[in-house]
Structure 1
Amino acid sequence: MVTNSINSRQVIWSTFSFPTDTLLAGQNLRPGRFLLSGVSQSNHASGKYRLENQQDGNLVMYPTGTIDSGSAYWSTWTFNMGLLLTLSLDPNGTIWMFDRKNSYTKILFHANQPSNASPDMEIYYRLTFDPDGILRLYSHVFFKLGRAPTTEVEWLEPGSDRCLVKGVCGPNSFCHLTVTGETSCSCLPGFEFLSTNQSTLGCWRALPTGGCVRNSSNDETRVTTTMVEVKNTTWLENPYAVLPATTSIEACKLLCLSDCACDIAMFSDSYCSKQMLPIRYGRMPGNTTLFVKIYTYQTISGTRQRAMSIHANSALISGVSLAIFSLFVLLVASLLLICRHRRSLAHMTMTAPRQEDSRIDGNIVGLRSYSFQELDLATNGFGEELGKGAYGTVFKGVVADTNQDIAVKRLEKMAEDGQREFNREVRVIARTHHRNLLRLLGFCNEGIHHLLVYEYMPNGSLANLLFHSDASPAWSKRVAIALDVARGLQYLHSEIEGPIIHCDIKPENILIDSLGIAKIADFGLAKLLIGNQTKTFTGIRGTRGYLAPEWSKNRAITVKADVYSYGIMLLEVISCKKSMDLKRAGEEYNISEWAYECVMFGDAGKVADGVDEAELVRMVNVGIWCTQSEPVMRPAMKSVALMIEGAIEVHQPPPPASYSQSLT
């Protein structure tokens, strides 16, 4: 870009001065500039790694999003020399660093000219920071006499072992090379991949952590713990306790086993340490031994235990009598079924209309099929609006034949193939039955009309309760609502066949019934409905302020996206403050950063008034765990519910990812 003035022409920006992932001959990487790896060889968007020419004179490779020395995996070791060094590649294939104001130079590599060099040969060099996080110098040889050009790798750092690159595998997993030299990621024992299709994203526990579990009064929870050994690995250390050097490897294992807060013990260089999860940058081979705690749960109802003991003998004595009686009952039941079958054949035409009421391209048990005319009459021409969302409007109605209050949602944004998706999603919602989910009563699927009929919630939404009431709800009521929502999400995520990701958890989608019980609304619809006027189901869905970071990073969306949204909502429930209102008030951080700062500086009372401080800090910490930037660091909703109940200990969370940036 060139700007003109009366007396001069001045270049104010050029692509050559701002390289992306490649340096060509004569091109420099100045202090404070960096190269970013691509996503893949064919996708040159910003990838996972950064090569930064730091202001301290050091050239360093990091995974993107990290700046700490523990995350660096290669450097030139030229820091603290009082120099500002520039990285340069010259036409002869020499990679070197120099200070413009001094005579200091450092040659990183000098390419040897090929032994078969000839006048018909031209050689060009490029230095590229490749998608796998390795910096390579390529030579491209062209011939004037029609021979095919050749490409060779002349130099690479940090070496040919790609597992030396930190971040190849995600948290709680380690990298090892296959027989072909390719990288492969494996989870720690007791962990499973966050996404089965993307093994590089990291791992999380297949079952929630045992922690310091307290048995409930109604059920006896047996938690069996064992330690599994993982040898010959290397990890980034993140200890919360380091034991004396005299501790043996066997004692290291037993000390973690006996500590309910310890999940992983590391034994390396004669030192034993208890590590915080997640554990990162694992690779093989190495000289570290890990001991990973594995939990096995068994819950046996105390009432059932007593009943089993009391009736054990009586069951044995009466077994023969029951068997004889069962044969008699079976005979009678068979005769009755034959008679009933004959009657049903005689009256087939009378029952057919009732079957049609529960049919939508197949049977859906428990749902009523309404005509559009019925719902138009029930809502008095859709006259009383209860609320309006991104995907439709909700109206108050009364069913004429039962006098039952209902809420009718008229869907207004359907994709082109929405008919098939509507049928599928209604079936999905129909198979969910939980105390903390809004119950679907029926549907209308008539021509262009797509409507859903729900139970009516007389106490409105959680948003009205928190942000539009004269007084804040009592603390105990807020905690109960938070626990209700956690249990509803736990059911959607892990207790039905095929998890449902809500995609839009926020106070407006939490409704309160006549008994004060919170129920999640709009679950199962996010995959059906389209937002932002698009025609696909792959765009961002949800509400600004509650969206997990992975929505904007082209990363796989899992149930952990709901956990993030829940964390924002939980902090709103605790504080009765809306996250986006902090921005509007001129604050530079979101609600998780604000709450973390209040707790960190001992000013938790700013988050909520009149609440026991220890209880308040514990609840805030749950919210901060849920809003961690990396999905693998967020707890599962089952663990969240246990933390809110106080059944497991809540450890101090790391700060929100953007917190340190907000301070600079």
Structure 2
Amino acid sequence: MYPDAVPSGYLYDPYWASNTVDNGSQLVFNETGRIYFTIINGSQVNITSAGVDSMGDFFHRATLDTDGVFRQYVYPKNIHARPLWPEQWTAVDVLPENICQSIQTMVGSGACGFNSYCTIDGTKNTTSCLCPQNYKFIDDKRKYKGCRPDFEPQNCDLDETTAMLQYDMAPIDRVDWPLSDYEQYNPIDQTECRRLCVIDCFCAVAVFDKASSTCWKKRFPLSNGKMDVNVPRTVLIKVPRSTNSPSVFSSGSSKWKEDKKYWILGSSLLFGSSVLVNFLLISVMLFGTYCSITSRKKIQLSQPSNNSGLPPKIFTYSELEKATGGFQEVLGTGASGVVYKGQLQDEFGTNIAVKKIEKLQQEAQKEFLVEVQTIGQTFHRNLVRLLGFCNEGTERLLVYEFMSNGSLNTFLFSDTHPHWSLRVQVALGVARGLLYLHEECNKQIIHCDMKPQNILLDDNFVAKISDFGLAKLLPVNQTQTNTGIRGTRGYVAPEWFKNIGITSKVDVYSFGVILLELVCCRKNVELEVLDEEQTILTYWANDCYKCGRIDLLVAGDDEAIFNIKKVERFVAVALWCLQEEPSMRPTMLKTNQIVQNPINFTINSTMTDVFPHTLNH
């Protein structure tokens, strides 16, 4: 497969090749859902696989899509497939797995247009082209044409002082344009790297590597842009400090060049004075309004006045009692309380899940609003969203978005095993959600009770973590035993049993167990199995990995067997997460990098030597 220079038809270097040209090969799309080349010598080159249990339950198609990715799709055609599949074409396999990484050309724009960058949504198997801040698409309908600055280009006649006043260097997270360098400095610090790009009218992006004290300057057009969680350098893009008139940049008048500093100073003072006066007036008005509202809320809800940062909707108990029909339909029960299904009396009839928090420890009563504020400010695709709460009298209730496909526990351990690509999608979603809780939200949140029951699935089977942020509100013995342990048997990290501090690595351990369960479609502890060595999944997986028999873990799962390299990678990552010593486990950032982009991942015995003293249990 080749990138094509439109409209000339010139082909750049291939980003994927089967190496089957002129050897009598034939492309086959067979009745099992596999697509492969057969070669004249009898061997086969695998392309993609549907990996569904019954071919007769699905329509199939495979297309080379407009983003350059070859995708295989299925569509359920009878009721037997529909309970687990949405009624739409679903991509079940792709080639290449990450086109953003696969295409890098010395000539041409890369997977997306010039001055844009490529990103992958692993949960939907889709590719998107995005513009950096202060840039916009040249053509919104043909995004492959790239992006252009949404501000006046820097005039090369500007002196250093004016350039510094007009432009700044903004960091852009996890995005890189690996080519387009035209200047390099070493040794240098980041402040000087920023300055040298700002005063250079040709410079669009500066890249600073702290480890080597090196700075690179890049000019337009920027090519091969991509989002990558493993960008080790600081990428800075030039943006305007404010929306100035184009005449400020383009005027060539010698009078203006001579007096511009004084004009800028005078204008700034005048504008600043006006803003200050307006700000003071608005502040007085807002403060009066705030005091009035706060006073009313104290009387009505008996809640403290500093609740401006809480979720937007504060429910009364009677509202939630009516929405749930008197708390009739139970969705589930857990350590923190019972969850009921409800429906709001709004214009959309929004379905909700209402959790009644029970046995709230006395010292946590004051912390409730603080913790709810933290949860309410936590937004991520892979976290269940908090819609509101009730803090009325002794009642403490949380209102969440409703997840139509229930919990991972029900989805994974039912009679019908979900197919491999859906399990991979769930694993990636859980990994991203934990990464956000540990490293990307404003305040680090350690879940402390990661398990399949606390992973919910929406209409499109996107995994969303629930019950995060509640650990501080529960009595230490409520979630499992009377030993001060939080968590659930089979998912609890060893350090809970030791007199050492608890860190985010307890969630990493639990993720390792869940990842093995997703790979094998079975619970970690199964006492009914015929082979005693398979009773505890973590031990059995470790034995299979050491013996080189990963295939035993997915026996009978044709799709997983077809993707045995990915199975092996997931098992290796899971075993790494299960290290007894917390410091030996990876962070969720490293875990995400490996499961999504395994190119630079090397497995060694130290990482997977998990149970050296317990193999003969």
TM-score (norm 2): 0.53
Question: Are positions 1:591 and 2:537 aligned together?
Answer: yes
Q: Which structure 2 residue ranges, 5 or more long, are not aligned?
A: 1-100, 105-116, 120-174, 179-183, 187-211, 213-229, 252-259
**What's the counterpart of residue 601 of structure 1?**
547
Question: Are positions 1:394 and 2:339 aligned together?
Answer: yes
Distance of 1:316 and 1:298 partners within structure 2: 34
Q: Is the 8 A contact 2:383 2:464 kept in 1?
A: yes
Which of 171, 176, 188 is the equivalent residue of 1:220? 176
Question: Are positions 1:374 and 2:319 aligned together?
Answer: yes
Q: Which structure 1 residue ranges, 5 or more long, are not aligned?
A: 1-212, 227-256, 258-294
**What's the counterpart of residue 216 of structure 2?**
none
Distance of 2:336 and 2:290 partners within structure 1: 43
**What's the counterpart of residue 539 of structure 1?**
484
CA deviations over 1:46-91 (Å, ceiling 9, x no partner): xxxxxxxxxxxxxxxxxxxxxxxxxxxxxxxxxxxxxxxxxxxxxx
**What's the counterpart of residue 611 of structure 2?**
658
Change (3 A) 1:343 1:592: closer
Aligned-residue CA RMSD (Å)? 4.2
Shift of 1:482: 1.1
Question: Are positions 1:439 and 2:388 aligned together?
Answer: no
Please tell me the residue identity of whatever aligns with 2:386. L
1:214-363 map, 5 Å: 217=118, 219-220=175-176, 297-300=232-235, 304=237, 317=249, 331=274, 338=281, 360=304, 362-363=306-307
Distance of 1:397 and 1:582 partners within structure 2: 37
Which stretch of the first structure deviates more once superposed, 623-632 or 323-332? Answer: 323-332
Distance of 1:357 and 1:401 partners within structure 2: 22
Change (3 A) 1:300 1:476: farther
Shift of 1:328: 6.0
Distance of 2:498 and 2:290 partners within structure 1: 60
Change (3 A) 1:416 1:335: closer
**What's the counterpart of residue 528 of structure 1?**
473
**What's the counterpart of residue 452 of structure 1?**
398
Return the index of the structure with the highest Cα Rg: 1
Distance of 2:603 and 2:581 partners within structure 1: 17
Which of 553, 570, 595 is the equivalent residue of 2:515? 570
Shift of 1:460: 0.9
**What's the counterpart of residue 268 of structure 1?**
none
Shift of 1:459: 1.4
Instruction: Find the residue that maps to 2:388 and give its secondary structure.
Output: strand
Q: Is the 8 A contact 1:357 1:368 kept in 2?
A: no
**What's the counterpart of residue 549 of structure 1?**
494
Distance of 2:461 and 2:302 partners within structure 1: 31
Change (3 A) 1:535 1:635: closer
Change (3 A) 1:446 1:658: same
Distance of 2:290 and 2:577 partners within structure 1: 57
Q: Is the 8 A contact 2:513 2:578 kept in 1?
A: yes
1:568-647 map, 5 Å: 568-581=513-526, 587-588=532-533, 590-608=536-554, 609=557, 610-611=559-560, 612-647=563-598
Shift of 1:606: 2.3
Distance of 1:406 and 1:532 partners within structure 2: 29
Instruction: Find the residue that maps to 1:662 and give its secondary structure.
Output: coil
Shift of 1:352: 6.5
Shift of 1:423: 2.8
**What's the counterpart of residue 511 of structure 1?**
456
CA deviations over 1:415-474 (Å, ceiling 9, x no partner): 132312323322321232222211112111222211111111111111111112x53223
Shift of 1:562: 0.7
Question: Are positions 1:492 and 2:443 aligned together?
Answer: no
Please tell me the residue identity of whatever aligns with 2:249. I
Please tell me the residue identity of whatever aligns with 1:415. Q
Question: Are positions 1:649 and 2:596 aligned together?
Answer: no
Shift of 1:594: 1.4
Distance of 1:563 and 1:534 partners within structure 2: 18
Distance of 1:424 and 1:536 partners within structure 2: 27
Q: Is the 8 A contact 1:221 1:299 kept in 2?
A: no
Shift of 1:601: 2.7
Percent of residue pairs bearing the same amino acid type = 41
Q: Is the 8 A contact 1:482 1:573 kept in 2?
A: yes
Larger relative helix fraction: 2
Q: Is the 8 A contact 1:358 1:365 kept in 2?
A: no
Q: Is the 8 A contact 1:372 1:449 kept in 2?
A: yes
Q: Is the 8 A contact 2:335 2:478 kept in 1?
A: no
TM-score (norm 1): 0.50
Change (3 A) 1:340 1:432: closer
CA deviations over 1:12-31 (Å, ceiling 9, x no partner): xxxxxxxxxxxxxxxxxxxx
Distance of 1:315 and 1:602 partners within structure 2: 70
Instruction: Find the residue that maps to 2:506 and give its secondary structure.
Output: helix
Q: Is the 8 A contact 1:358 1:367 kept in 2?
A: no
Shift of 1:327: 5.9
Shift of 1:568: 0.1
Distance of 1:333 and 1:502 partners within structure 2: 44
Q: Is the 8 A contact 1:443 1:450 kept in 2?
A: yes
Shift of 1:330: 8.0
Change (3 A) 1:333 1:583: farther
Instruction: Find the residue that maps to 1:432 and give its secondary structure.
Output: coil
Which stretch of the first structure deviates more once superposed, 424-433 or 455-464? Answer: 424-433
Question: Are positions 1:483 and 2:434 aligned together?
Answer: no
Please tell me the residue identity of whatever aligns with 2:512. G
Larger relative strand fraction: 1
Change (3 A) 1:507 1:594: same
CA deviations over 1:220-264 (Å, ceiling 9, x no partner): 277x9x9xxxxxxxxxxxxxxxxxxxxxxxxxxxxxx9xxxxxxx
Shift of 1:318: 6.2
Question: Are positions 1:410 and 2:356 aligned together?
Answer: yes
Please tell me the residue identity of whatever aligns with 2:614. Q
Q: Is the 8 A contact 2:371 2:469 kept in 1?
A: yes
Q: Is the 8 A contact 1:220 1:299 kept in 2?
A: no
Question: Are positions 1:384 and 2:324 aligned together?
Answer: no
Please tell me the residue identity of whatever aligns with 2:466. A
Distance of 2:335 and 2:436 partners within structure 1: 25
Instruction: Find the residue that maps to 1:581 and give its secondary structure.
Output: coil
Q: Is the 8 A contact 1:391 1:531 kept in 2?
A: no
Distance of 1:602 and 1:658 partners within structure 2: 16
Please tell me the residue identity of whatever aligns with 1:663. N
Distance of 1:586 and 1:532 partners within structure 2: 34
